[in-house]
Amino acid sequence: MKLKEMRIGSCVLEVGADSARLSAPITCADEQPRELWYSLPAAHADWFATDRCDGFVVALLLQAMERNENIVTDAPMSSRLWHSLSQFYIPMMTQAFPNLHRIKIVPAALTTETQPAAGVATGFSGGIDSFAAVVRHFAQEKSPEHRVTHFLFHNVGSHGNKSPEADRNLFRQRYALVQPFAKEVEIPTVPVDSNLAYAFPIDFMKMHHALNASVLLVLQNQFRRYFYASTYKYVDCRVAPVKDIAYLDPMAVHLLSTEGLDCVSTGSEMSRVEKTALVATYEPSHRYLNVCVDAAFEGRNCSVCFKCRRTMLTLELLGLDHLYGQVFDFEKFAKVRQRYLKEIILHYPHSFEQEIAEAFYAPRSRAWRWLIKAGGWYRQHRQYRKK
Ligand SMILES: [Zn+2]
């Protein structure tokens, strides 16, 4: 049986007074064509690569695999990217997400041409992962060749899932919040908006590195290197059924590179505790660290959500909490701390919380070692009973 097709049309660049927009028509079997677009400030219109569809293919690949549709393009795509996706990335994703199908990508033509791009980019959100990337690839980087020149701030599905307007408001709010740090270190921060999350609704946790890399792939005229701040340490990463695509980052992100753009996964060489300690060596993080997931706090740290709790406990155990009085409320945290410590042991298998508990308590105390073991038995028993 012939597979259905998802056809990606040639992209069109429109430059207005304020913004520039690159779009492409997407046609799926038996459906009305949809438009997928990316937009950024008009001053950067020439960053868009209009001669290829690399970004659109990567943005839609996992959706096409879910729908079991081959991707057919009207524009050329990078030969290296096409080869890596077809030979490695697609099989890898089917092993991690059993609901995905092996599909083919049929480009109009393959190209090996590159543009003389000079930029080195990373995303910046103000969290531990992105601050660790800033310390490694900007503050500590001696070689100008590898040093970050730009921060990018994407709207590709990470700013809630209420409505395009509500999510876009949060995107703008969060963008405004990262500006003071970027201005202080004199790194231009460019917002890139997109309708990707709405044109083809997605499970962000299963796609985030592909969605973020798609932005760099549409901006290949400007960037030659992209540092993608990854979450999990190498020893925890694997190609196996997982809920979060981040477990695949070190194996997968480099496969999204082209002849002109290197996509690099960074951060897996450290544990969460080591990353937090590294970030704390960087003074601006004492004033700008922002890890909170609670949108109601409008970009400030609530000091009680799961990300705030784990960061505050790690800082406390490292003896560095006194440095972060400006961004966290440790008195508020003290009220939930005791309950949180119990939760770490009993309810969070294979989590950063477990890592924190093991790093700090297990080597020191028999009682904690016993509790961690008991936590393991409890979880096994619970899983057994669920079956
Ligand atoms: Zn919070």
Kindly state the average pLDDT of the residues 266-287. Answer: 94
**Is residue 276 assigned to a domain?**
no
CA–centroid distance, residue 328 to ligand 1 (Å): 9
How far, in Å, is the centroid of ligand 1 from the Cα of 228? 23
Cα distance between residue 252 and residue 294, in whole Å: 30
Q: How far is the CA of 268 from the centre of ligand 1 (A)?
A: 23
Q: Is residue 125 domain-shared with residue 235, that is, in the same domain?
A: yes
| Most confidently predicted of 222-231, 292-301, 358-367 | 222-231
Taking the C-alpha atoms of residue 51 and residue 46, their distance in angstroms, rounded to an integer, is 12
pLDDT beyond 90 at 157 = no
Give yes or no: residues 48 and 136 share one domain: no
Pair (144, 86) in one structural domain: no
Residue 279 falls within a domain, yes or no? no
* Residues 257 and 160 grouped into a single domain: yes
Number of H helices, E strands in the chain: 14, 13
Residue 387 has pLDDT above 50, yes or no: no
Ligand 1 centre to CA of 311 (Å) is 10
Question: How many domains does the structure of the chain reveal?
Answer: 3
Q: What is the pLDDT of residues 86-100, one digit of tens each?
A: 999 999 999 999 999
Distance (angstroms) between ligand 1 centre and the Cα of 270 equals 23
Residue 174 CA to ligand 1 centre (angstroms): 14
CA 306 – ligand 1 centroid, Å: 7
| Residue 377, pLDDT score | 59
| Same domain as 158, residue 100 | no
CA of 294 to the centre of ligand 1 (A): 5
Distance 383 CA to ligand 1 centre (A): 29
| Cα–Cα nearest to 278, from 123, 129, 126, 121 | 129
**Residue 228, C-beta contacts closer than 8 angstroms, at least 6 positions apart:** 122, 123, 209, 212, 213, 249, 253, 263, 264, 265, 266
295 Cα–ligand 1 center, Å: 9
State yes or no: pLDDT of 340 exceeds 70.
Answer: yes
Asked whether residue 284 is assigned to any structural domain, the reply reads: no
Compute, in angstroms, the gap from residue 315 CA to the centroid of ligand 1. Answer: 15
Average pLDDT, the chain: 88
Mean pLDDT of 214-242: 94
Question: What is the CA(269)–ligand 1 centre distance, in A?
Answer: 26
Question: Which residues, other chains included, contact 137 with Cβ-Cβ below 8 Å and sequence gap of 6+?
Answer: 120, 122, 146, 147, 148, 227, 266
CA of 297 to the centre of ligand 1 (A): 8
CA of 74 to the centre of ligand 1 (A): 45
CATH number at residue 225: 3.40.50
Average pLDDT over every residue of 181-196: 94
Query: What's the pLDDT at 80?
Result: 98
Whether 121 and 216 have beta carbons less than 8 Å apart is answered as: yes
What distance in Å separates the CA atoms of residue 46 and residue 39, rounded to the nearest whole number? 12
Based on the fold, state whether residues 173 and 224 are members of the same structural domain: yes
Task: Give the Å distance between the CA of 291 and the centre of ligand 1.
Answer: 7
Interval between CA 7 and ligand 1 midpoint (Å): 41
Model confidence at 338, pLDDT cuts 50, 70, 90, reads confident
Cα 241 to middle of ligand 1, angstroms: 29
**Residue 75 included in any domain:** yes
CA of residue 299 to ligand 1 center, whole Å: 9
- Select from 111, 138, 170 the last residue of a domain: 111
1-42 pLDDT, tens per residue? 567 899 999 999 999 999 999 999 999 987 788 999 999 999
CB count within 10 Å of CB 100 equals 20
Of 249 and 375, the structure prediction assigns the larger pLDDT to 249
Distance 44 CA to ligand 1 centre (A): 34
Which of the two residues, 45 and 196, has the higher pLDDT score? Answer: 45
Structural domain for 82, as ranges: 4-111
